[in-house]
A = this chain, B = another copy of it.
């Protein structure tokens, strides 16, 4: 991984850790809970990906910088943030979209480097991007948001497909990353800006109340 991608990855880790720590604060967790929520949100997706690929020990065992970034972020959020409103603003959502796009591309890249097929590479990219947030929501006893409304996973899927296609067509890694991340970012930012969402699959089920 080039230096730039590596530091961008640590930045994405911090952004995702913030979103986990904020979720913990909403449920009034203690410092341990805040750290756990920050960690599962930030490194949960990559951990599940590595476990399924058999890339064990998982990535943060080798490189503990990811853990330090998570712990320092959790500490900063606990000491500095009182009113999370400001953090949910446009800048944070942009940073989160950047993290999603980058995690997707890094996940797809890792799967390809393990010899996975294009379909699996896209899946592993999306998994890296969204599974951490899903575990966060599960621990907060919520149906994962990503499964319900927003165009969030869709941006990740598009990024994963763009990256995998570009690599398959013989493009070098850096331009493929740039194209894929741009695609994912455009979709995600449009969805935030125009409040887009996919139509839900709804069942008419009279028996639901029983």
Contact = CB atoms under 8 A, between A and B. Distances in A.
Interface of A: 21-22, 24-34, 36-37, 47, 51-54, 56-58, 60-61, 64, 67-68, 77-78, 81-85, 88, 114, 116-117, 119-120, 123, 134, 138-144, 146-149, 153-154, 157, 197-208
A32 B208 contact: no
Name which of A53, A61, A154, A205 has the most chain B CB atoms within 10 A of its CB: A61
Contacts of A200: 28-30
A139 B138 contact: yes
21 contacts: A25-B203, A27-B148, A28-B200, A28-B201, A29-B147, A29-B200, A30-B149, A30-B200, A31-B198, A31-B199, A31-B201, A36-B147, A47-B52, A53-B61, A57-B116, A60-B120, A81-B203, A82-B204, A84-B203, A85-B207, A141-B143
A33 to B, nearest CB: 3
Contacts of A206: 85
Nearest to A81: B203
Name which of A84, A138, A205 has the most chain B CB atoms within 10 A of its CB: A205
A69 to B, nearest CB: 12
Contacts of A83: 203-205
Contacts of A34: 201
Contact of A56 (B53, B141, B207): B53
Nearest to A206: B85
9 tightest A-B CB contacts, nearest first: A54-B56, A33-B147, A25-B203, A30-B198, A32-B153, A28-B200, A25-B201, A29-B147, A78-B201
A100 B134 CA distance: 27
A101 to B, nearest CB: 16
Given A53-B57, A57-B53, A116-B61, A24 B85 contact: no
A172 B115 CA distance: 35
Nearest to A156: B32
A148 B57 contact: no
Name which of A56, A149, A157 has the most chain B CB atoms within 10 A of its CB: A56
